[in-house]
Chains A and B, each alone.
Chain A
Amino acid sequence: MSAGKAAKKRGKPKSEHSFYPAWCKRCGNCVAFCPRGILVADEWGYPRQQNPERCTACGLCEMLCPDFAITVGYEKPGAMDMTQAAGGESKDFETPKPGSSGSSSISPERLAPAPREEK
């Protein structure tokens, strides 16, 4: 059974990628080991999702990411849209002031683009 048929059988998988550029070290694991080949590196080496509809949400990129910089199928605060190039024009990252983020369950680096409350 092809991956497409399998995905159709169990319903469309949640394949939205979230990406935290502040944590990414541009090692290239996610791009190299994506079984569908839908992650491509942009000019800086950050991953970008090329054909989101082909994603099977297997989660291999997330598990092989040593820096927890990419997630599949769910969103965490501070993530940015994967379909845009990282370091895009709209979002500029400010360094958070020490002690400014109240929550202890979120790293300040992840909150950098758009601080939001969790729960």
Chain B
Amino acid sequence: MPTVHRSVVYDWLRHDKKFPHVWCPGCGLGILLGSLVRALAEGGYDKNQVVLVSGIGCSGRLPVYVDVGSVHTTHGRALTFATGIKLAKPALKVIVVMGDGDATAIGGNHLIHAARRNLDLTAIIVNNLTYGMTGGQYSPTTPLGAKATTAPYGHSEPSFDISALTVTAGASFVARSTVYHVTQLDQMLGQAIKKKGFGVVEVLSPCHTNYGRQNRLGSQLEMMKGYKKQAVRMERWDKLSPAEREGRFAVGVLADREYPTFLETYQGAVERALAARREG
């Protein structure tokens, strides 16, 4: 049994906002919202301790519904705003919710540099393989050959692997899950928020309205059943041959390591500067 009851979600919602929320019926963002709130409550965080930052897109609406400090920023710059908030008030827990276009296209530069700097942030990247809000244009994570509004005969570029990208860029914690694996998602969000350093959770979420319709994937039910079929646990993924990995993806914790965070290394530089001033 979970220590925190599921009913905690209702205590963290902003009830003066219009409910039901703006997302399409069956959208994974609602599931992620509940999961995030449960992870925060499980971690014992206070509402005043937490800041949610988001960019533009469907995922940008997420912090609006949670009763914590929230910033809805410009497209792709959610991580830059979050960096400023964290440096100004290091005691706050800053959580950034971005979409795949937000994180890897317009904010791709900020993502790799935030991971390299290893600032104590948590980035939740909702990957629906398309630009859902603007009508289903292809994004950097759209798979090769998939159809999109701007690629009606199939996409001609290979896609980004967000998790592999952030592992290479130097993030402390990288995990991937889907909204279908909701209990696992609760745990991973909790781990990522607790982790000191840059935590990335890539959440695969169905966009049946745009991506699913154009690629004939059916409703969100079929897409979520597809996640169930395609997702392979990390331990099993390592044993699979390249042929078996075709069309599947690994879920689980991809990287969990101890790197010095930006605040620690910066504090070291401050101390060295003060010591140099005292001597000189």
Chain A contacts to B: CB under 8 angstroms: 22-29, 32-33, 59-60, 62-69, 71-72, 74, 76, 104-107, 109-110
Contacts and interface: CB of A to CB of B under 8 A. Distances in A.
B7 A107 contact: no
B15 A104 contact: yes
A69 B26 CA distance: 12
Contacts of A63: 6, 31, 34-35, 182-183, 186
Interface stretch (B16-24, B73-81, B97-105): B16-24
Interface residues of B, number: 34
A33 B31 CA distance: 13
A28 B26 contact: yes
B29 interface: yes
B226 interface: no
B27 interface: yes
B28 interface: yes
Contacts of B277: none
Contacts of A27: 25-26, 220
A106 B15 CA distance: 6
Contacts of A72: 6
A105 B20 contact: no
Nearest to B28: A66
Contacts, number: 82
A64 B15 contact: no
A107 B19 contact: yes
B30 A66 contact: yes
B9 interface: yes
A91 to B, nearest CB: 18
B5 interface: yes
B26 A71 contact: no
A67 B21 contact: yes
B1 to A, nearest CB: 9
6 contacts: A25-B24, A29-B221, A60-B182, A68-B10, A105-B15, A109-B19
Given A25-B20, A25-B25, A68-B30, A74 B15 contact: no
Contact of B23 (A26, A66, A69, A74): A66
B258 interface: no
A71 B7 contact: yes
B13 interface: yes
Given A63-B35, A71-B6, A107 B15 contact: yes
Given A24-B20, A33-B224, A64-B179, 14 more contacts: A23-B20, A25-B26, A28-B221, A29-B224, A32-B221, A63-B182, A63-B183, A63-B186, A64-B182, A66-B26, A66-B29, A68-B9, A71-B7, A74-B7
A104 B16 contact: yes
The 6 A-B pairs with the shortest beta carbon distances in the complex, nearest first, are: A66-B30, A27-B26, A25-B25, A27-B25, A107-B15, A63-B182
